[in-house]
Amino acid sequence: MKKLASLLIVSILGGILSLGGYFLFIEEDAPSIEENAGIPAYAPVKFDNVPASTNTDFTKAANESLHAVVHVKNLALTRNPFSGSRAGTALQGTGSGVIISPDGYIVTNNHVIQNANKLQVTLNNNENYMAEVIGTDPKSDIALLKIDAEDLDYLPFGDSDNAQIGEWVLAVGNPFNLTSTVTAGIISAKSRDLGMDRNVSSFIQTDAAINPGNSGGALVNIYGELIGINTAITSQTGSYVGYAFAVPSNNARKIVEDILEYGDVQQGILGIRGVQAATASRETNLDISEGVYVDEVEEGSGADRAGIRSGDVITKIDNVDIRKFSDLTGYISSKRPNDVVKVEVIRNGEPRIFDTRLKKYEIFQIKAIGLEVTNASPEELKRNKVKHGVKITRGLTPKMESENLYGTIITEIDNIPVKNVEDVERLMSRRNSNDPISVTFVSPNGEKQKYVWR
């Protein structure tokens, strides 16, 4: 027994000496990661720096959200094909909505309720109400509904500007008519421009599962605050493939407040045309890759009066970083005309700050000829040598956009003088859409031309 114990001790000592020799002779010659590879040496995780809980509890936010998210059913009146009389109602489509006040105001997507004859809203407790459309904003795909109810559970608006990439979020809605569904994910990106139309969009991107029927539902943070209205899916199948998009809550809230206070959406603009700095840097030798390069400043606009000039690069607005054009449009869309914002630019390598008052964005789309117009400033009218007219801002079709008509003044429609956007809207609403339309243009060099669309 003593002999066995002695052999065991000798073996252990031999192992220790061999291991020590390995470290002494082998590791001394081994290359040091810190010294030779140019990257930091491995450092063990300090567990006192790890958050107290990495298992975030979603139950409170989920339970509060479920009672504030409703099922919206788009009903259309049907007619008897033989008599022409009304035969009843048929379900045209479904979506979701978010109760934002205890007295029954509901936010949803415009495409959920578009062309509806009747709207039925079903609460989480299965109570049904008929809803009234208070107002819509098709451009942002937001609509405001109202049901006749009191003391409802609702979701408070959160500050979507404070939402962080990587932050946990919940998507709450009614996908595929599966009521009261909650999915979890993170914020994958902010200010995402999908390029779905010719307007720059600014969405929150998330990997929380969103499918048809989720439209108009809630995107909430772990505190149960509404930070987005789930709106879009980009996939080849029409169903969730890993990411989806929501209108930021700051934009949705502003639209709702505008509809309630003014009856329509009040949009403010800086008054610039620009491109992303990364795109402009190749042509202008900029050493800045993030920001919005100001290509042109509209005369008489807030940017013009504040002192912003062509060649400036906008990097911040009200301490919000502007890295790309959708950052700028997303933030400005949450503001109103006459709001003053602090615009930080880089000019000749130096930062400058301008207090800029936003102007009201007044436009009208003349769809019959594929052009969008806005009110022309006195300076623009004087330069074109005309006394009245509206300015073309962009083409609505690829063909009209290729004509490069920006800045051209329209002085007459159907031989009737137009002075502003309201004149254009009034004329277009009164005319027969089947009649030819004549338009008189005056180009920036003063050349006058008249065209007829049939």
**Which residues form the catalytic set?**
111, 141, 215
Please, are residues 315 and 345 in contact by the beta-carbon 8 Å criterion? yes
Ramachandran category for residue 143: left, alpha or beta (phi over 0 → left; psi -120 to 50 → alpha): beta
Please, are residues 245 and 235 in contact by the beta-carbon 8 Å criterion? no
The residues pairing with 450 across neighbouring beta strands, listed in sequence order, are: 440
From the list 121, 117, 178, the residue with the least C-alpha distance to 145 is: 121
102 DSSP assignment:
T
| Whole-angstrom distance, CA of residue 443 vs CA of residue 437 | 19
**Structure tokens, 90:** 């048929």
201 DSSP assignment:
P
**Structure tokens, 176:** 């595929």
157 DSSP assignment:
B
Phi, psi of 175 (to 5 degrees): -70, 140
The DSSP line for 218-259 is EEEETTS-EEEEEEEE--SSSS-SS-EEEEEHHHHHHHHHHH
286 DSSP assignment:
-
| Whole-angstrom distance, CA of residue 30 vs CA of residue 156 | 60
Please, are residues 301 and 294 in contact by the beta-carbon 8 Å criterion? no
| Whole-angstrom distance, CA of residue 108 vs CA of residue 142 | 6
From the list 149, 121, 146, the residue with the least C-alpha distance to 133 is: 146
The residues pairing with 114 across neighbouring beta strands, listed in sequence order, are: none
User: CA-based angle 127:130:134, to the nearest 5?
Assistant: 125
* 170-187 exposure pattern, b = at least 16 Cβ within 10 A, e = fewer: bbbbbbeeebbbbbbbeb
| Whole-angstrom distance, CA of residue 95 vs CA of residue 236 | 20
